[in-house]
Structure 1
Amino acid sequence: MLPVVKMRIVMLTRSLLSLVGLVFIVVLFINSGLFTAETSSSAMNNNEGKANRKRFQQGNIKNETIVFIYANQRSGSSFLGEIFNNNTEAFYLYEPLLPFTTSCKNLNEERKTLLKDLVECNFRNIRNTYKKTFAITGYKDQGCLYNTLCFISHHVPLVNKYATRCKVMARRQNINDNSEPCGFPLRENYLSQICEESDIRVFKILRICSLRMLDEVYSYLETRGYNVFVIHLVRDPRATMSSRLAIKLDEIADNDLGQQTKELCDRYKMNIEYVDNMEAAHHSISPGSSAVTDNRYLRIRYEDLALNTIEQAEYIYRFIGKTLPSEVKKNLKESALTLDKLIEEVKEKVFRMVENKKLEGGFEKYNEIFDKVKDPFETVRDPGKVATKWRKVLTFEQLQTIQEYCKEPMEKFNYKMLHSRSEMLDFDIKNY
């Protein structure tokens, strides 16, 4: 009987050890933030858990949240980007892949490589990469080489952080500002430091050619332990093409409106098909392979964002596991002011300054704000009016051309077809 008793004791001991081990692992998962108390569905719980377990098993869990804003030109991505650009905890890059152009004929591996480097705060080769890319594409430089970052005017919060960092480092190293000014081009090592210290890293991307390609970057970063999310912004193709016509983007004109529209909606259709296929096969897709199957992919319409900005911004932040900061909410409310309100506000301020004989800067301030509202690349506009402006601008013939090429994505994104000029101008008839 003694051996039997011993055997039972051994088996009981092993069971207890296994139970203790299981509890220990669960505690580790909870403390590492891999389980959240709030989820949108059981499927999201399951898939996110799988992705997190994969990173946990690899021992590469990182605290940084990576967000890709993926969109087409003139789709409202600049407005969406401001949700993160004004977050003091975020590191935001506006179109870092600009030199590669929207053409997908070449340099696809190179653009993915640069994006991976930037996510990991490696800015060492950014200017050399830009220089080589411009030489191949022949694209017009938008200050990328001189400033280190493209479209420097869209990086004001980052430049302010940079200026503070540079001045502190200059004092520490006893550097005279006259001998080594904290100006342009921005120093790569300071950009890397600011990037590394940021909890959220956000990249507005127009020049990755497909969601499939972006998923390849996603999969790579997941294996490196990053918490990655893809926000896919779509917009009514009629509004997008109207905006492109208005600013003559890529020299677009009526005679090639059909070709440009076809390219836009062919890309939409390709990405729709990819997402649908991934969702259909999600049971056979390994965790960490796709943002779609890991529930790290969110498709959002510009029109919803424009008309319900705060609500949508809060939803986006919840999606990435964060809370919308109060300073961002305040900034969004200010940017949603109408053109008339802005003009009246400035006029009132200028009038008071004249009365008090303090006119200095008054007219300059007026012109600054008015120019911002007129600038098609600015974000200080009435988004509600922008969302429907195309209905007054397009001809009915142009509308028909766009709808002909874009029927499938319009139906997928729940945009309504308009069948006459009178329907276009009847705003009681909703287009989405």
Structure 2
Amino acid sequence: MVKIRQKRCIITLLPLLGILLLLFGIFQTKIVQDGNLASTSKSILKTLQFAVKVNDERVMLLEPMRDESKLVKVVPVDTLHSQIHVHIQDDHSNGSLLSSEGLLAIKEVSLLRSNTLDKSSKTALIAQHKLDNPTDTFRFQAVNPALHTTPEHSKIQILIVTNRRSGSSFLGQFFNQHPDVFFQFEPLKLTEWKQEFYPDGIEYLRHLLKCQFDKTPYLVEFYNREPLHRASSKVMNDFPLCNLTESLPKKSRYKVRCPPLETLPLIQTCQKKQHQTIKLIRLYSIASLEPIALDHDINLKIIHLVRDPRATYISRSRIPGANVSSVLGKSLDAGISYLCRRINRNLDFIRSQPAWLQGKYKLVRYEDIANNPKKLAQEIYKFTGLGQLPQEVLKWIQSNTQKSAIKPNMQPGESHYSTTRNASQVPEAWRYEVPLKVVLRMQEFCRETLRYLGYREVRTTKELLDKNRSLVAQLKTS
């Protein structure tokens, strides 16, 4: 009889327990509207977490912090684990979003006093979403590191590694013109501007390749204050980040008339693109990329762009204010020797054939690109895994490698960082701009570099000026 009474008591209490749990769940549910956290007691704020739908593909996980809401994660809908339910309670849908992977990208920013989310961005947040058991989310991620051991092979991250004045702006257009590539122009310059924030440039580069711009302090400010760097990225000057550049006159090429970039839209745009490419002239050691190459979340491809160091150096000396001398003396010796030592250091490392670099590295000479851009573009796309050249890239190559696309002499006010090239003019034009004695001196410091990269030396003025004799030989290594 006692057992029967106990069972009846338990059965009677079950509905009451259910009501209590429901009420607890209601009090634990908090709605975030138009990017703002609704008011509540500070005691509850310490324990609540929230989810806000950004669009059909992305959800933001939130946790309150003091009187503001602190955005802790930006999560693709299709990367939520199947055991984690994001309940949708807006006017258009009611259900759960489920998937089978871990969480991505951590971000910290105040939604209420945010420079990252402007008013329109906040309003765009469809805000009536709640995350059940958010602590399980973080525990799941922590105890399952295997979630991040499989790379997302469909996404390719490409680094163009080279030296200044080696044709990287031209090569970069092979990727910048691709409609599904997020292209960045020399973001490592920020590490010189804000050295205290970036003691480790490789970790910064890793964040860039993962679209984790929330972890890169001052990156948005950098692009907003450096018009060349923003203007050189097509995606940063197109919708949705900008739709105002079409009417710009050519003389205003670097006067970007776009709204200032903001972090969240930049992250969203980067994540929506299928691939990434970053052009680097400030990465001195390819060996330093090993941690990135071994990151299972990054499908890295390295294009090592080289150019005849004699041509590179002479090109630098033609830039006003560059303080590069093409006159015999200590300045010439120091400049050309440093350039070739830097190239040799990377070539020596490549010759050691590190295991982690296999299948991830390709050496490309600028002269080969300039002489046959379409062929080299196809080879580079095959190496990177991007497939066939899209029409946008083919059209750009066609329109920017014609004789009419480049002027014999640069006019005042024109950029020294032009992306247009003429194969018949550019690759070996330096030969007719410098005396033999300077060339001979450069060759003394760069003999090993020239030999390895397949560039012929000259001994006489006749050889230097002979238009029928190319100084670019067949490249034995690729």
TM range (shorter): 0.5 to 0.7
Identical counterparts, % of pairs: 25
1:53-93 CA distances to partner (integer Å, 9 max, x unpaired)? Answer: xx999334342100000000000000000000111111000
Matched letter for residue 372 of structure 2: N
CA contact (8 A) 2:155 2:299 kept: yes
- TM alignment of 1:19-418, pairs within 5 A: 58-100=149-191, 109-128=199-218, 144=222, 146-147=224-225, 151-163=229-241, 183-220=258-295, 223-224=296-297, 226-248=298-320, 250-253=322-325, 254=327, 255=329, 256-277=331-352, 279=353, 285=355, 290-291=356-357, 294-321=358-385, 322-339=387-404, 374-418=414-458
When residues 261 and 130 of structure 1 are mapped into structure 2, their CA distance, relative to the original with a 3 A threshold, is farther
Aligned-residue offset at 1:129: 6.2
Aligned-residue offset at 1:403: 0.7
When residues 147 and 63 of structure 1 are mapped into structure 2, their CA distance, relative to the original with a 3 A threshold, is farther
Matched letter for residue 119 of structure 1: L
Greater fraction of residues in helix? 1
Q: Which has the higher contact order (CA 8 A, sep 6+)?
A: 1
CA contact (8 A) 1:98 1:150 kept: no
CA contact (8 A) 1:423 1:429 kept: yes
CA contact (8 A) 2:161 2:281 kept: yes
Matched letter for residue 246 of structure 1: R
Structure 2 distance, partners of 1:343, 1:268, is 30
Q: Which moved more, 1:149-158 or 1:419-428?
A: 149-158
The residue aligned with 2:52 is: none
Aligned-residue offset at 1:145: 5.6
Using structure 1 for the length normalisation, give the TM-score: 0.65
Structure 1: give runs of 5+ residues left out of the alignment: 1-54, 132-143, 167-181, 345-368
When residues 337 and 113 of structure 1 are mapped into structure 2, their CA distance, relative to the original with a 3 A threshold, is same
What count of residue pairs does the alignment treat as equivalent? 310
When residues 342 and 211 of structure 1 are mapped into structure 2, their CA distance, relative to the original with a 3 A threshold, is closer
When residues 63 and 308 of structure 1 are mapped into structure 2, their CA distance, relative to the original with a 3 A threshold, is same
Structure 1 distance, partners of 2:367, 2:302, is 19
3-state DSSP class of the match of 2:200? helix
Structure 2: give runs of 5+ residues left out of the alignment: 1-145, 245-256, 473-478
When residues 267 and 107 of structure 1 are mapped into structure 2, their CA distance, relative to the original with a 3 A threshold, is farther
Matched letter for residue 162 of structure 1: P
Structure 1 distance, partners of 2:414, 2:396, is 19
Root-mean-square deviation (CA), in Å?
A: 3.1
Greater fraction of residues in strand? 2
When residues 342 and 81 of structure 1 are mapped into structure 2, their CA distance, relative to the original with a 3 A threshold, is closer
Structure 2 distance, partners of 1:420, 1:316, is 36
3-state DSSP class of the match of 2:427? helix
Larger radius of gyration between Structure 1 and Structure 2: 2
CA contact (8 A) 1:89 1:199 kept: yes
Aligned-residue offset at 1:270: 0.7
Structure 2 distance, partners of 1:107, 1:304, is 39
Structure 2 distance, partners of 1:241, 1:409, is 13
Q: Which moved more, 1:152-161 or 1:385-394?
A: 152-161
Structure 2 distance, partners of 1:262, 1:130, is 36
Structure 2 distance, partners of 1:219, 1:109, is 21
Matched letter for residue 401 of structure 2: A
Structure 2 distance, partners of 1:236, 1:107, is 35
3-state DSSP class of the match of 1:73? coil
Matched letter for residue 431 of structure 2: R
3-state DSSP class of the match of 2:393? helix
CA contact (8 A) 1:99 1:130 kept: no
Using structure 2 for the length normalisation, give the TM-score: 0.59
Aligned-residue offset at 1:214: 2.2
Aligned-residue offset at 1:262: 0.8
